[in-house]
């Protein structure tokens, strides 16, 4: 998933914050070949269970990064308080932490993140813009968090009808095509994804749509060595912890 904010059309103060954040991201990307890190993709990497012991993460440094980079309000996401980004990143981080509850610190982070969802989830409808593929990703991340025993507030699942409608409009043959933009967000399919289709969508660099999240989703199910090599390289670019995008 490309974690790029759509520019809000209203509220000068929000636009100013958005521009400030964008400039900061552009400065940051110069250190890593035009790529900046995101909590969303890092959380997907952190959710990969070890092949040797599924009770622990395969990438403990990514799991620890989540614990170290939780906002004071309990959320994860960008520095600018953009509710769609924060809710999506928080759900994804909670799914990762909840699937492998490795420490007391993880339990505290889960409590704080869950509290944020209950306190801020009702604000989803107030934002003037949405992230790309948000109507596909949010229902999927709600389900992942629930599967990790996260107590997700029921009012978060407000995009299910939109997800069904969008899926109806996507031709079955195009879903896994590298030429269709949805390939960058194929993690929304989760366990329903067709492994043969994902393999066909895999690029020469081992990724699915050049997306760490989609590639992590594929790797969890396939343990594909090319996908692992891509994920390893993503982590190396940012010092071995967070995932650049």
Measured from the Cβ of residue 207, the count of other Cβ atoms closer than 10 Å reads: 23
Nearest to 87 by CA among 30, 11, 141, 32: 141
| Inside any domain, residue 245 | no
| Inside any domain, residue 1 | no
Specify whether the backbone of 207 is left (phi greater than 0), alpha (psi in -120 to 50) or beta.
beta
The CATH number linked to 112 is 1.50.10.160
Q: How many domains does the chain have?
A: 1
Helix axes 134-147, 83-99, angle to 10 degrees: 30
Cα–Cα distance measured from residue 37 to residue 53, given in angstroms and rounded to the nearest whole number: 27
pLDDT at site 241? 58
Percentage of residues of the chain with pLDDT beyond 70 = 80
pLDDT of 129 above 70 = no
Tokens of 125: 């409808």
- Residue 38 belongs to what domain range? 12-237
- The pLDDT tens digits for 157-184 are 788 888 888 888 888 778 898 888 888 8
């Amino acid at each position: 998933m490309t974690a790029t904010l759509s520019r809000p059309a209203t509220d000068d103060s929000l636009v100013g914050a958005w521009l400030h954040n964008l400039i900061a991201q552009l400065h940051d990307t110069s250190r890593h070949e035009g790529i900046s890190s995101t909590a969303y993709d890092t959380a997907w990497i952190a959710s990969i269970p070890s092949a040797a012991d599924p009770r622990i993460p395969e990438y403990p440094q990514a799991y620890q990064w989540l614990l170290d980079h939780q906002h004071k309000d309990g959320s994860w996401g960008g520095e600018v308080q953009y509710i769609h980004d924060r809710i999506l990143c928080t759900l994804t981080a909670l799914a990762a932490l909840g699937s492998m509850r490795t420490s007391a610190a993880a339990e505290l982070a889960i409590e704080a993140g869950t509290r944020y969802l209950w306190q801020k989830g009702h604000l989803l409808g107030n934002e003037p813009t949405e992230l790309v593929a948000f109507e596909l990703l949010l229902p999927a991340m709600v389900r992942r968090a629930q599967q990790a025993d996260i107590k997700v507030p029921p009012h978060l699942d407000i995009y299910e009808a939109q997800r069904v409608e969008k899926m109806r409009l996507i031709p079955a043959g195009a879903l896994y095509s590298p030429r269709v933009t949805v390939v960058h967000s194929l993690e929304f399919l989760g366990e329903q994804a067709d492994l043969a289709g994902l393999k066909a969508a895999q690029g020469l660099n081992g990724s699915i749509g050049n997306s760490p999240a989609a590639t992590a989703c594929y790797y969890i199910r396939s343990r594909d060595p090319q996908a692992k090599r891509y994920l390893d390289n993503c982590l190396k670019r940012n010092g071995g912890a967070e995932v650049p995008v």
